[in-house]
Chain A
Amino acid sequence: EVQLVESGGGLVQPGGSLRLSCAASGFTFSSYWMSWVRQAPGKGLEWVANIKQDGSEKYYVDSVKGRFTISRDNAKNSLYLQMNSLRAEDTAVYYCLPQLERRGYFDYWGQGTLVTVSS
């Protein structure tokens, strides 16, 4: 059974930092692209970033470029998102999601972790 357990969310002040983690199990983690997707309260889905199977390619939505860094540890079946210079508009539930290929779909969703940026 595929399991995706996101953690590391919480309340942080504007300008602060957080590191999200995602523990994956039930599939061959090293064979999948991995993405972070977020959803602000009452808003739609927004793709944030993804990383290739071996970590050699990383892509970001413009709004987080230069502030967020995606990384992975295939030995630990784990995905990370380092978030710096956080803004109120980064407040959202963050999901980590596997994709077999870049043009592919997200068929497994965890419960996500809530990040709240507020003073």
Chain B
Amino acid sequence: KAGVTQTPRYLIKTRGQQVTLSCSPISGHRSVSWYQQTPGQGLQFLFEYFSETQRNKGNFPGRFSGRQFSNSRSEMNVSTLELGDSALYLCASSSDAGSTDTQYFGPGTRLTVL
């Protein structure tokens, strides 16, 4: 079974631009969550999608948005990029929205904002 895939793996943007990251979950998984990892901050929860609906949202500004398609693939968009948005963005999938269901992570997209 293929794991969680994320594209692109690396991205360099400049301030003010916008970016779209993509995540393909493990086949059969319906829940996709997004996290931001920065040095010293661990992983910060961005949002979770289940069956094309946003189920949970973290404490990030409205510049961060996402969506999920009918095939469970998800995209995350960041508009008006700031230097502080430079981070590793991780996507995780699980089979349903239960809190004890293990989340499996993709390799991440490394975003650098110049």
Are A and B a genuine interacting pair, yes or no?
A: no
Residues of A whose CB lies within 8 Å of any CB of B are none
Residues of B whose CB lies within 8 Å of any CB of A are none
